[in-house]
Amino acid sequence: MSSLLTIAHGSRRAASNDEVRQLADAVRAQPGQAYAHVETAFLELAEPSIPDGLVALVGKGATEIVAFPYFLAAGTHVAQDIPDAIAEFTAKHPEVAVRLTQHLGASAVLPAAILNVAG
């Protein structure tokens, strides 16, 4: 069973974290989306953490998890912290396949999305 985990930075501002959770709700509601579960995790400052988010998906039956870094630039968090957290999880859960995607900022569709939003 394939699941999607959107990974955001996390904020001291609760409304910002809620915005990311609402994005997951909107992704989950997309017609034809292929994931059994769509959840959110945070690198820091908010819950669930990345390890807790991964474990929660396994608890829901996930055998394959797509981890999507909801970050615009490939800083240390994208290049090191997130891959390290996933590697630590997969070492403990080798039966679960975790695929880390490119971060949002690397998406080829982002320029068109920016123009669409800027209108």
Confidence band (pLDDT; 50, 70, 90) for 38?
very high
Determine if the pTM surpasses 0.85: yes
Tell me if the domain spanning 2-118 has CATH number 3.40.50.1400.
Answer: yes
For 17, the 3-state DSSP assignment is helix
Res. 100 pLDDT band, cuts 50 70 90: very high
What does pLDDT average to over the chain?
97
pLDDT, average across residues 51-62: 97
What is the b/e burial string over 31-66, where b = at least 16 CB atoms within 10 angstroms of the residue's CB?
eeeebebbbbbbbeebebbbeebbbbbbeeebeebb
Q: Provide the percentage of residues in the chain whose pLDDT is more than 70.
A: 100
Q: Of the candidates 71, 58, 74, which has an alpha carbon nearest to the alpha carbon of residue 2?
A: 58
Are 69 and 100 contacting, i.e. CB atoms less than 8 angstroms apart? yes
